[in-house]
Chains A and B, each alone.
Chain A
Amino acid sequence: MRIKIALAQINPILGDIFKNREKHLEFIERAIKEKAKVIVFPELSLTGYSLLDLSMEVALSPNDSFFNEIFNLSRYIDIAFGFVEKGVDKIIYNSAMYLSQGAIKQIYRKIYLPTHGMFQELRFFGKGKNVFVFDTDFGRVSMLICRDFFHPSLLFLSYAGGADFIFALSNMPLRGLSGDKPYIEETVEKAADTYANFLSAFIVFVNRVGFEDGLGFYGGSFVESPLLVRHGFAGILNEKLTFAEVETGDIYKKRQNFPLLREEDFSLIKQNLERILEEQK
């Protein structure tokens, strides 16, 4: 199946969920016009990143009527976006919501919340506990958020769940300006190449742009196919909506030519992991 994935490399306004919702609606409508199957926004696309004490003020329950218009548009296109989730447990999470057919298909809570150097997410957010893989009408999707993408263990779980598409909704600040590309961009692209190749899945990386309190998010969104072709590259530093036209049959081809998934023995992994953890006690 040939499908179009819209990558919404936006620059949200910090803390202004109303203006950001407008931007979401605008980008979604443009993607619908282009007949995209799904549109993917960055991490915390509705709120901005450097929230600190604002986190609790912009948090929303997933069924808040605030989302109504976005839910409506998801009757025409699947939508993945980032927001601060007010949990029923009254804890707030750095979450991603996947909408389809006017309803919530999945909510993913970021598992690895970086808290070092310039990052302080664990001061404000609760930690997610589960990786999900769910069906859509173009394949099985798994969502991860930013730092999660640097933990191969989480992508391995998506792989174990049979993911065809792994979405990485990100807010990666630029660092390293001595080479042709920012160092962080090289790191992400190398990781995506490796994951796409060995997990034989599409990697959908969507990163925001813009500055907040000195941090400059670099963008550089793209889709990497299991055949290692890059699609829909959005360039760096500028807000952009790009489209990656991909052939889902590439996954099938890859898994025949390089049948890692067929060889995989997940119960062996489970046993070994349990033994290793037991030995560490």
Chain B
Amino acid sequence: MINLSLNYKLVRKFIKNFIREEILSNGFSRAVVGLSGGVDSSLVLYLTVDALGNKNVRAIMMPYKTNSPDSLKDAMLVVDELKVPYEIVNISNVADAYFENIKGIHNLRRGNFLARIRMAVLFDKALEFQSVVVGTSNKSELLLGYSTWYGDMAASLYPIGDLYKTQVWGLAKEVGVPEKIVKKKPSADLWPGQNDEKELGASYKELDEVLNLYVDQRKSFDEIVSLGYKRSIVNIVFQRIYKTQYKRTFPPIAKFSPRTVGIDFLYPHDFKR
């Protein structure tokens, strides 16, 4: 019902500059990207290579035994296309060493644990390669809290953090991410058969429009419903945003000193002495 499409040529240039400057101004020139074979991480890899050159980027694939084999194939397609050095770190043994002693562990616990193992691997690889971890979270998942706190959310910068999922598809087409990857059903692939839209309860198109109306246009719940959006979907969006606000803020500190981290010790991120 509303058009969220962007001037993707300009967005591409803007994000390319962002990646380059944010990394250089923090004293680095190289980056690692965790590549799943999905559209978000593929797009981020394209943009990062665009910004830093393929020699300064490493793609890290971290499959688990239950992941769809197509994911790794798609990831290979991307690294071949970009001629970017890569490494495959199978996390099955590490994860299973923990899982095997736990009875009745459910999908969400498993999924979160896998995301946090990947985070640990990625930050280790970043140190090995003297580089930063480029995050792959998009605006839809950041707002819906549809990601693992200190897992896939852990990164030094979020180049696509202001793009809704439907805009990620638009930019992915613009930069030349293989069509097969852009078109496949979105899945966090944390357990077999996981499907984002099924799990969230609505399509990204619907979710993104409601998010845009509420977040960017400051429409109220009732105003959005009166525009013809299903009450149940608007409800999902509002519930998710407020339930997951903790993931988007610095944890509270019991303040009693004159200057407290995060409250009134306020130095910019990009300042280096």
A binds B: yes
- Quick check: B268 and A177 within 8 Å, CB to CB? no
- Interface check B270, CB cutoff 8 A: yes
Interface window among A51-59, A85-93, A159-167: A51-59
- Quick check: A177 and B6 within 8 Å, CB to CB? yes
- Quick check: B10 and A177 within 8 Å, CB to CB? yes
- Quick check: B17 and A237 within 8 Å, CB to CB? yes
Write out the residue numbers on chain B whose beta carbons fall within 8 Å of the beta carbon of A178: 3, 5-7
- Interface check B266, CB cutoff 8 A: yes
- Quick check: B268 and A212 within 8 Å, CB to CB? yes
Q: Which of these, A52, A174, A177, A214, contacts B267 with CB under 8 Å?
A: A52
- Interface check A216, CB cutoff 8 A: yes
Known contacts A178-B6, A179-B7; A211/B268 CB under 8 A = no
Write out the residue numbers on chain A whose beta carbons fall within 8 Å of the beta carbon of B271: 14-15, 54
Give how many A residues have a beta carbon under 8 Å from the other chain's beta carbons: 22
- Interface check B150, CB cutoff 8 A: no
A212, B272: Cα distance in complex, Å:
12
User: How far does the Cβ of B47 sit from chain A's closest Cβ, in whole Å?
Assistant: 14
Task: Tally inter-chain residue pairs, CB-CB below 8 A.
Answer: 55
Known contacts A14-B25, A211-B22; A174/B14 CB under 8 A = yes
Q: Which of these, B7, B22, B265, contacts A53 with CB under 8 Å?
A: B265
- Quick check: B268 and A216 within 8 Å, CB to CB? no
Known contacts A51-B268, A53-B267, A212-B270; A177/B14 CB under 8 A = yes
User: How far does the Cβ of B29 sit from chain A's closest Cβ, in whole Å?
Assistant: 16
Give how many B residues have a beta carbon under 8 Å from the other chain's beta carbons: 21
- Interface check B13, CB cutoff 8 A: yes
- Interface check B127, CB cutoff 8 A: no
- Quick check: B270 and A14 within 8 Å, CB to CB? yes
Contacts of A163-216 to chain B: CB distance below 8 A: 174, 177-180, 182, 210-214, 216
Write out the residue numbers on chain A whose beta carbons fall within 8 Å of the beta carbon of B21: 11, 210-211
User: How far does the Cβ of A55 sit from chain B's closest Cβ, in whole Å?
Assistant: 10
- Interface check A50, CB cutoff 8 A: yes
- Quick check: A216 and B17 within 8 Å, CB to CB? yes
A sample of 8 more A-B contacts (CB under 8 A), given A178-B6, A180-B7, is A50-B268, A50-B270, A54-B268, A177-B11, A178-B3, A178-B7, A211-B22, A216-B17
Residues of B within 8 A of A (CB): 3, 5-7, 10-11, 13-14, 17-18, 21-22, 25, 265-271, 273
Closest 9 CB pairs of A and B: A52-B266, A211-B21, A50-B268, A15-B271, A53-B266, A213-B269, A177-B6, A213-B268, A14-B271
17 A-B residue pairings within 8 Å (CB atoms):
A14-B271, A50-B268, A50-B270, A52-B267, A52-B268, A53-B265, A53-B267, A54-B267, A174-B14, A177-B7, A179-B7, A182-B10, A212-B268, A214-B18, A214-B269, A216-B18, A237-B14
